[in-house]
Structure 1
Amino acid sequence: MSETKKADATEAAAKVPHQGSAPEERDVLLKVQGLTKHFPIKKGILQRQVAAVKAVDGIDFEVRRGETLGVVGESGCGKSTMGRVITRLQDPTGGTIEFEGKDITRLSTAGMRPLRRDIQMIFQDPYGSLNPRHTIGSIVSAPFRLQGVEPEGGVKKEVQRLLELVGLSPEHFNRYPHEFSGGQRQRIGIARALALKPKLVVADEPVSALDVSIQAQVVNLMDDLQSELGLTYVIIAHDLSVVRHVSDRIAVMYLGKIVELADRTSLYEAPMHPYTKALMSAVPVPDPKRRGAKSERILLKGDVPSPISPPSGCRFHTRCWKATEICRTTEPPLLELKPGQQVACHHPENAEDQAPQDTVLLSAARDAVELVSVGETPQTPAKTADGAVAEKKTVEKAVVAETVVEKTAEKTVEKAAAAETAAESAAPAEADTADEPAAVEDPAVEDPVVEDPAAEAPAAESAEAESGRQESTDK
């Protein structure tokens, strides 16, 4: 009997390497396919839908067990909405969400309740995510009450252990949220998310509202907790430095779409999508040794288009300096052009062109690259996609200024002519009344010609001589 058990143990041990060499699909914790989330816009008495805000419009990605996926992009690109949808805090409009091989896309509230302990979320605002009327002990112990879990040693002891795990004192159990700083409140939110030992944690910009020194502490804390508890993170952020520090793979979103998905080394060293390259060029380099060096900075002009009516084809073609006709008409699929690096672009960077026959740039596409000195103001104006419009406005301003100058000159000539006419009309009157005193000048008539002070000198001397003769006569 013992020999049989030994044989079974040997056989089980022999299967372990086979499991480790299994396909990567067995290690996928979360799989998202074609995920969409549209918010309807309704008008009228009958509240008919007239349009929709396409916050998330068809994205595909996978999150493997134990890794960290970072999601970056401009404000309004759908990052936070995507995080709330994959945790089922909001219902998706379309697509599928699979967690550990189980489709959770259409599960009801009751069906999602058992999975809540495995999927948790850290919210962005540390001030708005905590109830000010509840104590810290009540906030952190809420997951235990809702799930009906009784931890070993009691709830209070477990909550104090969690507070100590995130760097707070166990004595803070009876305090209220207003007694803590922003960084401490974020730590409380992390403790609440980790209470039930989840498998997946979605962190929606966990450090964006914190000071730089506190950001480093929270990021290092999350990194340590991942190593200790084996967590899987989806971190949504706009700080590219933070994302590079904590992420294994990074997804770049633009207007509800994933335009590039790659590991952090490939993405930061050789970005393939023009939008990703523009994001990377915006990261400042705080190195005093590079103060006089030249760096390539890409200036994207204009705002992100409205998600209510996104552009046709590639959604970035309205701001891209490489956009051609195919970019305006055909939407590029998300393809793996390099091992582990997927990109949705017809004319990618650092890779073979997907549409080499289309070389004519669109009229709106201009060279938006400018070489500037790090830490200095650029001396030459940048070439922008709106260069023709700016040049037109400059010409219009010059024409307006020239018109104003011409009108001013005309008015000056008219005033001079009026003054000359008044002088000619006054000359005969002076001849007839030579013995009478000089007439007083009309103040309403302005003389635009400035008199020469040297010409006034003889008149002043004549007046002094006349006054002298008058005094001698009186004597």
Structure 2
Amino acid sequence: MSEKAKDAEVTIPAQAQDEGGATLTKDAAPGDVLLKVTGLQKHFPIRKGLLQRQVGAVRAVDGLDFEVRSGETLGVVGESGCGKSTMGRLITRLLEPTAGKVEFQGKDITHLGVNGMRPMRRDVQMIFQDPYSSLNPRHTVGTIISAPFKLQGVTPEGGVKKEVQRLLSVVGLNPEHYNRYPHEFSGGQRQRIGIARALALNPKLVVADEPVSALDVSIQAQVVNLLDDLQQELGLTYVIIAHDLSVVRHVSDRIAVMYLGKIVELADRDSLYKAPMHPYTKALMSAVPIPDPKRRNVKSERILLKGDVPSPIAPPSGCRFHTRCWKATEICKTTEPPLLELKPGQQVACHHPENFEDQAPQDTVLLSAAKEAAALVADEVLAESAETSAAVAAELDTTEETAEPAAESAAEPAEETTTEPAEEAAPEEAAAEEVSETVAVDESDSSEESGTDSQK
């Protein structure tokens, strides 16, 4: 090796160990923001035709906002195809983002090139999903684990071989297997080799992309416990991507739930599992079996989502979950809900959250305005109806007052009409009486005359 190369090398100290050889815990600064993501997007263009013109885009990640604090573990869950792995690659700058910002320890690393990211690789590492394809089958384990030292130009204290053997023992492998090839190891052992490679440079942030999904259940528990132990020993910060909610619950401090490229809920582990607020999170939780023999016969509510996940090429307008949500309303179809903190330590993007007193919370300004407008309209309608009722009552009173004099005036002519015929009938009766008296007198006279004649 040339003198210039030797001068260019940087020696990193080996991790502190106790008398028994165990690695001591790093001094972490809990509470400090280590990673901050703002408006992160990644759209994969769709090109067709001879000229390869862009006709659309797959919106794998479409606006993510979150923070990761030093020493904590952020779990990311969601269905297959929701953008979890793409998000992990964007954080580690293995993919170039379409928009947004990624800040690591207060430094913007969004658009750093290869040379600019090289120093950052010591602090940001990734554990890949497939332990079979992530290891070069032509290289020995020693060569694979020592690759970061060569790429960064650093030499550990005691030499590369000694450091690699120490890392193998840290992850639970035999240090004597230094010269073996990947095909000589099982799946779980290969994943341990990948973890050892990620820990070679003592990183501050490790992004694990479904580290146990390709392993057997028994091996999954070993790898999960290994990650947990390493975090406590080395003070690591994790972003663990998975779709197994039981695994995420075991290792995570906070959990982000993704759906179709967006975070729909971000909360503490206990809050999320005890009282999920987003309907999609509630549906996911209903699918997790409860490993409690006492609750074996307890029937839990199983939520079955209808339909398929919409295409990320043309996602639905408004809330992207409204096509499968049982609580969707018109505002869900037109207005996208923001990710806001409705409870301490619990953020949700939903117009009608679960386990929340106000089913139409104040975070949605449009809905609040609609509420106020509806109240004003209701007050106006009530006022108008009251005015209308008063006017109708006044008209009825006026009509009654007008009708009474009219009835009285109509009754008076009737009485007069009735009296006049009576008055007219009185002379006629008197005349008739006079005629009858005259007739009677005449008859009496005639009878007297007849009597006289008979006497004669």
Counterpart of 1:127 in structure 2 is 132
Distance (whole Å) between structure 1 residues aligned to residue 273 and residue 92 of structure 2: 28
Distance (whole Å) between structure 2 residues aligned to residue 89 and residue 230 of structure 1: 24
Contact 2:30 2:71 survives alignment (8 Å): no
Are positions 1:113 and 2:118 aligned together? yes
Counterpart of 1:408 in structure 2 is none
Q: What's the offset of the Cα at 1:290?
A: 2.9
Counterpart of 2:148 in structure 1 is 143
Distance (whole Å) between structure 2 residues aligned to residue 278 and residue 105 of structure 1: 34
Q: What is the TM-score when the length of structure 1 is the normalising length?
A: 0.69
Q: Structure 1 residue aligned with 2:50, among 34, 45, 57?
A: 45
Aligned length: 336
The AA in structure 1 aligned to 2:166 is: R
Gaps of 5+ in 1: 1-21, 360-475
The worse-fitting range, judged by mean Cα deviation, of 30-39 and 217-226 is 217-226
Contact 2:141 2:177 survives alignment (8 Å): yes
Distance (whole Å) between structure 2 residues aligned to residue 303 and residue 168 of structure 1: 43
Distance (whole Å) between structure 1 residues aligned to residue 50 and residue 221 of structure 2: 51
Counterpart of 1:403 in structure 2 is none
Counterpart of 2:401 in structure 1 is none
Q: What's the offset of the Cα at 1:23?
A: 11
Counterpart of 1:165 in structure 2 is 170
Contact 2:127 2:195 survives alignment (8 Å): yes
Distance (whole Å) between structure 2 residues aligned to residue 295 and residue 277 of structure 1: 12
Counterpart of 1:85 in structure 2 is 90
Counterpart of 2:221 in structure 1 is 216
Q: Secondary structure at the match of 2:263?
A: strand
Q: Structure 2 residue aligned with 1:341, among 331, 337, 346?
A: 346
Q: What is the TM-score when the length of structure 2 is the normalising length?
A: 0.72
Equivalent positions of 1:62-461 (< 5 A) are 62-351=67-356, 352-354=358-360
The AA in structure 2 aligned to 1:74 is: E
The AA in structure 2 aligned to 1:54 is: R
Q: What's the offset of the Cα at 1:49?
A: 0.5
The AA in structure 2 aligned to 1:224 is: D
Q: CA offsets per residue over residues 334-358 of structure 1, 9 Å max, x none?
A: 0100011000000000112226788
Distance (whole Å) between structure 2 residues aligned to residue 201 and residue 220 of structure 1: 16
The AA in structure 2 aligned to 1:354 is: A
The AA in structure 2 aligned to 1:353 is: Q
Contact 2:30 2:69 survives alignment (8 Å): no
RMSD between aligned residues = 1.5
Contact 2:37 2:64 survives alignment (8 Å): yes
Q: Secondary structure at the match of 1:132?
A: coil
User: Based on CA coordinates, which of the two structures has the bigger radius of gyration?
Assistant: 2
Structure with larger RCO (C-alpha < 8 A, sep 6+)? 2
Distance (whole Å) between structure 1 residues aligned to residue 292 and residue 348 of structure 2: 31
Distance (whole Å) between structure 1 residues aligned to residue 291 and residue 350 of structure 2: 31
Are positions 1:36 and 2:41 aligned together? yes
Q: CA offsets per residue over residues 422-474 of structure 1, 9 Å max, x none?
A: xxxxxxxxxxxxxxxxxxxxxxxxxxxxxxxxxxxxxxxxxxxxxxxxxxxxx
Distance (whole Å) between structure 2 residues aligned to residue 290 and residue 299 of structure 1: 21
The AA in structure 2 aligned to 1:59 is: L
Q: CA offsets per residue over residues 229-270 of structure 1, 9 Å max, x none?
A: 110000000110110010000000000000000000000000
Q: Secondary structure at the match of 1:150?
A: strand
Q: CA offsets per residue over residues 75-117 of structure 1, 9 Å max, x none?
A: 0000000000010000000000000000000111111011111
Distance (whole Å) between structure 2 residues aligned to residue 291 and residue 198 of structure 1: 43
Q: CA offsets per residue over residues 133-190 of structure 1, 9 Å max, x none?
A: 0000000000000000100000000000000000000111000000000000000000
Q: What's the offset of the Cα at 1:291?
A: 3.4
